[in-house]
């Protein structure tokens, strides 16, 4: 999964009135790798996988420490390299799958536009261990072997290739083939860059504070904003799980209820479609006792188009009154009863507003901070009609409802 970044170009930004909990390098969390470009006063920083197991790369100005662009990848990051002249950052990711394959991706991140391109043609890709630009057209790539089948040295050796393109800004997704990446077998140590990365960030910002994602955010009666941050073990699993969790947690209604997994008060089956298995997501109770909740439909190949839903279900028997389907996983949901609206946050970086009574789409926004994409993980509507949005990097955004 790549960054939602500016991949939602047709959506307006949700108006952000204030940013609570901001600090330098917030976007990347715990740093594991850093690469400077002293000539352009830039620093690329990779953070360890955190929310939804994403690894995050941020490009920062070393003067103002402002974030220029963000990329989110599904594998840990092992290599960063700035193009010598173009506004491009090469990013190498990957991991051993625990039984056979070394899989990964090679990205080009345009830090001016925020666009990210995954370059390797093969579905499993290659674990990229090292990157360096030889000149404006040649990129040297060090990769782990494709697998360790009958290969005892696969974890200490690699393959070295030099890929040439006349214009790297014009390369297309999946355009690097096995022929492009063929190269000699060489020793390939796996150095740990975490200590050096932390020293680099501490030198620029001694008061930086890595945080995990916001689990919940609320406004107290006196206007104080309260937020709960995740611990490392609280990071959620990816959406293509193989078994449902213990139930759907419901907000409001005077008590905490579950649709499944609670022997003291089961409500109704989580799946209302015969033959489908639904995974639970966030939910809220309406004033008249109905339940509005999100979820996903299980599929052996992962989340399918239209496989994510928000549904309003009757309090008595759980019959759906309306269903809204999307392609992305919801992270939180809240009701705005004054406006008869449902606000839903998604891992794609979108926040949608649906009609509470008909499920119709009223508004779509993307979430950004100073033009850089953010991922909403928790939200709530305040008494004054604002939207508080917690993010995957531990900040809380005070937003206007338009």
Residue 238 has pLDDT above 80, yes or no: no
Q: Strand runs (DSSP E) across 192-290, as ranges?
A: 214-219, 225-229, 250-251, 278-285
Residue 240 has pLDDT above 70, yes or no: no
- What pLDDT was estimated at residue 401? 87
Residues 173-184: tens digit of each pLDDT: 999 999 999 999
Q: Are 59 and 89 in contact (CB under 8 A)?
A: yes
Query: At 243, is the secondary structure helix, strand, or coil?
Result: coil
pLDDT bucket at 369, cuts 50 / 70 / 90:
very high
Q: Are 89 and 80 in contact (CB under 8 A)?
A: yes
Question: How many Cβ atoms are within 10 Å of 354's Cβ, its own excluded?
Answer: 22
Per-residue burial over 77-116, b = 16 or more CB atoms within 10 Å of its CB, e = otherwise: bbbbbbbeebbbbbbbbbbbeeeebbbbbbbbbbbeebbb
pLDDT bucket at 231, cuts 50 / 70 / 90:
confident
Residues 189-207: tens digit of each pLDDT: 999 999 999 999 999 999 8
- What pLDDT was estimated at residue 246? 43
Question: Both tokens of residue 92?
Answer: 């190498």
pLDDT bucket at 233, cuts 50 / 70 / 90:
low
Q: Are 200 and 218 in contact (CB under 8 A)?
A: no
Residue 312 main-chain phi, psi, to 5 deg: -105, 125
pLDDT bucket at 268, cuts 50 / 70 / 90:
confident
Residue 248 has pLDDT above 60, yes or no: no
Residue 46 has pLDDT above 90, yes or no: yes
Residue 254 has pLDDT above 60, yes or no: no
Between residues 236 and 55, the one the model is more confident about? 55
- What pLDDT was estimated at residue 67? 97
Q: Are 49 and 39 in contact (CB under 8 A)?
A: no
Domain locations along the chain: 24-204, 214-400
Question: Both tokens of residue 223?
Answer: 């206007």
Q: What is the mean pLDDT of residues 17-34?
A: 96
For residue 305, CA distances in Å to 52, 55, 327 come to: 19, 24, 5
- What pLDDT was estimated at residue 50? 92
CATH superfamily of 24-204: YVTN repeat-like/Quinoprotein amine dehydrogenase (2.130.10.10)
Considering only CA atoms, which of 297, 321, 294 is closest in space to residue 310?
294
Q: What is the mean pLDDT of residues 57-76?
A: 97
pLDDT bucket at 253, cuts 50 / 70 / 90:
very low
Residue 203 main-chain phi, psi, to 5 deg: -65, -35
Residue 244 has pLDDT above 70, yes or no: no
User: Domain 214-400's class?
Assistant: mainly beta
> Mean pLDDT score of the chain, rounded to an integer?
89
- What pLDDT was estimated at residue 339? 81
* Rounded-to-integer distance, Cα 344 and Cα 328, Å: 11
Residue 311 has pLDDT above 80, yes or no: yes
Q: What is the mean pLDDT of residues 258-270?
A: 60
Residues 137-154: tens digit of each pLDDT: 999 999 999 999 999 999
Altogether, the residues listed in the chain come to a count of: 402
Q: What percent of the chain has pLDDT over 90?
A: 79
Q: What is the mean pLDDT of residues 314-333?
A: 94
Residue the block writes with tokens 């925020």: 114
- What pLDDT was estimated at residue 338? 75
Q: Establish whether domains 24-204 and 214-400 are of one fold.
A: no
């Amino acid at each position: 999964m790549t960054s939602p970044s500016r991949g939602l170009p047709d959506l307006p930004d949700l108006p952000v009135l204030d940013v609570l909990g901001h600090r330098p390098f917030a976007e990347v969390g715990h740093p594991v790798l850093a690469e400077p470009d002293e000539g352009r006063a830039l620093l690329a920083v990779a953070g360890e996988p955190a929310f939804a197991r994403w690894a995050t790369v941020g490009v920062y100005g070393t003067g103002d420490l402002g974030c220029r662009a963000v990329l989110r990848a599904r594998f840990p990051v092992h290599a960063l390299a700035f193009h010598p002249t173009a506004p491009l950052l090469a990013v190498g990711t990957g991991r051993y799958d625990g039984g056979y394959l070394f899989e990964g991706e090679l990205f080009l991140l345009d830090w001016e536009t925020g666009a990210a391109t995954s370059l390797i043609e093969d579905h499993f890709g290659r674990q990229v261990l090292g990157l360096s630009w030889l000149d404006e057209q040649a990129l040297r790539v060090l990769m782990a072997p494709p697998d360790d089948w009958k290969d005892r040295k696969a974890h200490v050796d690699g393959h070295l290739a030099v890929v040439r393109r006349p214009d790297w800004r014009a390369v297309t997704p999946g355009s690097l083939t096995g022929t492009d990446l063929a190269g000699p077998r060489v020793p390939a140590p796996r150095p740990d860059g975490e200590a050096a990365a932390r020293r680099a960030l501490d030198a620029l910002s001694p008061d930086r504070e890595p945080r995990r994602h916001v689990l919940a955010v609320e406004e107290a009666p006196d206007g104080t904003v309260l937020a709960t941050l995740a611990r490392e073990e609280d990071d959620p699993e990816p959406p293509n799980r193989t078994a449902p969790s213990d139930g759907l947690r419901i907000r409001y209604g005077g008590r905490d209820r579950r649709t499944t997994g609670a022997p003291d008060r089961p409500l109704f089956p989580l799946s209302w479609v015969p033959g489908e298995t639904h995974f639970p997501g966030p939910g809220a109770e309406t004033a008249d006792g109905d339940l509005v909740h999100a979820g996903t439909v299980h599929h052996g190949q992962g989340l399918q188009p239209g496989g994510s839903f928000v549904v309003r279900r009757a309090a008595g028997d759980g019959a759906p009154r309306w269903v809204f389907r999307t392609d992305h996983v919801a992270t939180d949901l809240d009701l705005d009863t004054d406006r008869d609206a449902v606000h839903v946050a998604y891992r794609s970086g979108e926040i949608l507003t649906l009609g509470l009574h008909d499920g119709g789409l009223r508004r779509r926004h993307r979430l950004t901070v100073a033009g850089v994409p953010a991922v909403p993980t928790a939200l709530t509507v305040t008494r004054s009609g604002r939207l508080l949005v917690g993010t995957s990097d531990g900040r809380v955004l005070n937003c206007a409802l338009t």
